[in-house]
Amino acid sequence: MSLVVAETRKLTTVWTTTIITLVGLLLVLFGAAFFVFETEFSGEFLGTDPQVAATIDQIGGMSVIALIVGLLSVTTEFRHETIGRTLQLTPSRTRVVATKMLVGAVYGVVFSVLGLVVVGGILLLSGAELDLGETTVRALWQGPVGLALMAVFGVAVGALLRSQVVAVALMLIYVFLIESLVMQFLPEVGRWLPFQALNAMFLSEELTAGMGVDAAAPLEPMVGLAVFVAYCLVAAIAAIVLMRVRDV
């Protein structure tokens, strides 16, 4: 328990985490407000079950925030050379990495809850009568699960790469450039890549239908979740194994 408290304190007492979180929540605010109030783009907001769910899914669209926080939770220790002290106090490297993943997952859930507060405020301001049906309920659990897994993946990648600059730059390039290129030229392959698989959880039926017949259909939400969980498990196991055998 003391290790969990220590890792939580490391994550929450640095300004970087606060700033990234606030930026993420601001983007959630803009995304939800645009979807609800910009009728020329998304049509009139009537508060239907799919519309409410699509608004909530704006939170899942900020999964890159959880990824970056997960990366920083590990790479910051290597950058400032505090990892040695951490391992002196807790010699079990497996336990250290696993605890960082746990704390990262909790961060993902907390960010989702804060995002839900923001989205809830936008939905109330819309003045529409909200239909909270099955699709909305699904969106409510998909956000926390998706962001928690993304944070775990970020911790694993951070432990593998160690260099903060390399890890953050490589992941951002991969997310926003490489996967996009693969989706453009090899869509049948691209939809099985990690972040495309996770994003499949947050695609509403309306958005999927609007992709056109030429676009490769995204994975089913539960299939996408299972694929991303598999990526997380592989990355986590590799991170723990290499952490145990590599010099600090």
Domain parsing of the chain, residue ranges: 2-245
pTM, to two decimals: 0.90
- The per-residue pLDDT for range 197-225, each reduced to its tens digit, is 998 887 755 555 545 444 567 888 889 99
CB count, 10 Å around CB of 227?
Answer: 19
Q: How far apart are CA 215 and CA 234, in angstroms?
A: 29
- The per-residue pLDDT for range 46-62, each reduced to its tens digit, is 889 989 998 999 998 88
Q: Are 218 and 224 in contact (CB under 8 A)?
A: yes
**Whose CA is closest to 143, among 207, 63, 203, 218?**
63
Q: What angle do CA 180, 187, 154 make, to 5 degrees?
A: 45
CB count, 10 Å around CB of 55?
Answer: 28
Say which range, 11-20, 138-147, 205-214, 233-242, has the weakest mean pLDDT.
Answer: 205-214
Alpha helices in the chain (DSSP H): 2-12, 15-37, 39-42, 49-60, 63-79, 83-89, 93-126, 134-161, 164-173, 179-185, 187-190, 194-199, 205-209, 221-245
Q: How far apart are CA 155 and CA 84, in angstroms?
A: 17
Percent of the chain with pLDDT over 90: 59
- Residue 145 falls in which region: left (phi positive, over 0), alpha (psi -120 to 50) or beta: alpha
